[in-house]
Amino acid sequence: MATFESKISINRPVSDIYQFLADFNNHGQLMPDNVQNWSASYSEAGFMVQNTIKLSLQITERIENKGINIAAVNNPPFPVQLNWLLEANGSSTQVTFTINAELNMMMKMMVSGPLQKLADHEAGSLKAVLNRD
């Protein structure tokens, strides 16, 4: 299992961040430019990565003001889980975004960089989106 993680602090209450992340409709704002054809409902999302891979995601667990767990569904190229962990810290919130992927050695060499960039991009975008509200 390969793990890619990004940690940030956002100067917002944990409840604001949880409410945003709990709805997949908001996650489109966090995606990098190579994500195309984003479509979402409250609990599911689908998209293409630069016309190469089609992915479907589903929120598998919502733990109020603590975290959101997401899994790739419908035959992803490799098993992957995404987890948002929220921790209140006074008036701010510590946010940890983790991508766990089951990768063989060849896949790990090919996708480790892009998956770490994705983790960093989504966490940074979350901070940017919520700080402008």
12: domain CATH number is 3.30.530.20
Q: What is the pLDDT of residues 28-60, one digit of tens each?
A: 999 999 999 999 999 999 999 887 889 999 999
Supply the DSSP symbol for 115.
H
Q: CA–CA separation, 72 vs 55, rounded Å?
A: 7
Q: CA–CA separation, 133 vs 125, rounded Å?
A: 13
Average confidence (pLDDT) over 109-128: 94
Q: Residue 116: enclosing H or E segment and its boundaries?
A: helix 105-132
Q: Which residues lie below 8 Å from residue 123, measured CB to CB, with a gap of 6+? A: 6, 7, 8, 95, 97
CB burial of residue 58 (10 Å; 0-12, 13-18, 19+): middle
When divided into structural domains, the chain yields a total of 1
Q: Which of 4-8, 25-29, 33-37 has the lowest mean pLDDT?
A: 33-37
- pLDDT bucket at 27, cuts 50 / 70 / 90: very high
Q: What is the pLDDT of residues 53-110, one digit of tens each?
A: 899 999 999 999 999 999 999 988 889 999 999 999 988 999 999 999 999 999 899 8
**Does this model's pTM top 0.85?**
yes
User: Domain range for residue 76?
Assistant: 2-132
Q: CA–CA separation, 128 vs 9, rounded Å?
A: 11
Hey, CA dihedral for 38, 39, 41, 45, is it positive or negative? Answer: negative
